[in-house]
A and B are shown apart, each in its own frame.
Chain A
């Protein structure tokens, strides 16, 4: 099993340009909402170790603030020395690059039965990038965390449209904040963060869902308790015990969601597509927020038998690998494939994802059907 520390690399370990694949000119984002922007990565692009930034999904609650590269981050609360920091001050801290999956907690919501309200993501609210910045741990150590601190409340510069709309406030436990993989990032895939992806700063919490990866980060408040408010106490929570689909779940029976469960998605062939007889190639990505992927299996007979796919990229918790299964098929007709990932230690992607009222963290088996033609 990979230790989280092993996620951390000095310098981008991957030459992005060689992994971007075909030209981006004819690739488009899926527009789930024009304003504020909720844009999905096209499924066929989810077969690359690094998702090109222009195709990387965008999730906004309220839309971005104005572009302001001089924005500072304020560190306050239970610290010896509250202070403000910007990129110039980061020069004194070690710069770190991690490769990590960013997945919106609501990715796959449209696949939940019964349906639940929210942005109806199918597969596109996920991507993998290299993230460069400084460790949150180093920033907090400079501030000096005081006894009694247990959580870090996070806020960005994006304001709700009206004072009556709850602010997007989140928190992470202090232990996660001090994890060496947790970064304040200012670069993505080797370039400065774009406005849509959080410029000038966003938090990087490898292995955890995107609701912790606060964009346009401006406030780190060290405190005794977890965050108050709708976006922590009501949203982004899972039932503590499994519930029957469609059940109402009171808040006291829920807990904050954190780690991404083991998951794999087929990028190619696309469902409903036609492929020539001969070489058939099934590719996609697999990841788990908890552990490295041990193997990915493909079934061509509806789950009766499984074959191991080859894996590309470095294994590790919170990062994805590309899987590939190639075979010859000379018989025209309808074809079907289903894929499942198994993480180190044995947890297997479930055939059906557990339903929950928020439609979070869908990770059921992904199946595609296509036609082989002469």
Chain B
């Protein structure tokens, strides 16, 4: 797995549970060559598969894909946005900036039909960020959690869990109070974060990690 590390890269609660919009988003826009201006004629447009992999790896640890899909921008605006995000820490490889911007400018251009905005019930919206009982992940030991954190997570998320080049910050977040969602991210992976095997991070270890992170504020 090139570019992937073995470190734990957990995500925010909202990201872990807030994926509905991805499914209910606008219909894919046709990348018509007539309305798809390109930034650099030398570079062929990325395939959907390649672009999607890049977006998952480089964008979605901070926000869902709908942030991109709702924009209707010119190539110049897209290039500016991708560069701004890279400057803010999106781990886009330098050689990928232009191809990604060109892909987005073709897919979400000023000619693309408007986004069909999905809906969410107020109850579901509130539930997505609400604390939940720890269940099987209760009673963790913060000391053991600190050891596990430094072994598994700190490479990407920083020693103080404040986030770094690849990993997002893990301090004072709703996800720390949604233990099952936290465990799901750890064991499923997300973006550049690999999936950890249950044998390597059993329930008791998840509980320890949560105890440590909750005390890290």
A65 to B14: give the CA distance in the assembly, Å. Answer: 11
Mostly, the B contact residues are loop
A344 to B155: give the CA distance in the assembly, Å. Answer: 60
Give chain A's interface residue range (CB within 8 Å of chain B). Answer: 35 or more
Q: Are B71 and A196 in contact (CB under 8 A)?
A: no
A163 interface contact, C-beta 8 A: yes
A125 to B182: give the CA distance in the assembly, Å. Answer: 30
A372 interface contact, C-beta 8 A: no
Residue numbers in A under 8 Å from B164 (CB-CB) = 162-163
A31 touches which one: B12, B20, B72, B169 (CB < 8 A)?
B20
Most chain-B Cβ atoms within 10 A of its Cβ — which of A24, A32, A34, A116?
A34
A367 interface contact, C-beta 8 A: no
B129 touches which one: A64, A120, A166 (CB < 8 A)?
A64
Residue numbers in B under 8 Å from A58 (CB-CB) = 125
Residue numbers in A under 8 Å from B165 (CB-CB) = 162, 164
Separation in Å of the A177 CB from the closest CB of chain B?
26
Interchain Cβ contacts under 8 Å between A and B, 19 examples: A28-B119, A28-B120, A34-B19, A34-B22, A35-B17, A37-B18, A37-B128, A39-B125, A63-B174, A66-B172, A116-B77, A117-B81, A119-B67, A161-B62, A161-B89, A162-B164, A163-B164, A164-B88, A195-B174
How many residue pairs bridge A and B at CB < 8 Å? 156
Q: Are B89 and A162 in contact (CB under 8 A)?
A: yes
Binding site for A on B (CB under 8 A): 12-15, 17-22, 24, 61-64, 66-67, 70-74, 77, 80-81, 87-89, 110, 114-115, 117-123, 125-126, 128-131, 158, 162-165, 167-169, 171-174, 176-177
A55 interface contact, C-beta 8 A: yes
Separation in Å of the A22 CB from the closest CB of chain B?
14
1/0 contact string of A14-42 vs chain B (CB within 8 Å)? 00000000001001111111111101101
Binding site for B on A (CB under 8 A): 24, 27-37, 39-40, 42, 54-55, 58, 60, 63-68, 110, 114-117, 119-120, 122, 157, 159-166, 194-196
Q: Are A36 and B121 in contact (CB under 8 A)?
A: no
Other contacts beyond A34-B21, A196-B125: 8, CB < 8 A: A30-B117, A33-B67, A34-B19, A35-B128, A36-B14, A40-B117, A63-B14, A195-B174
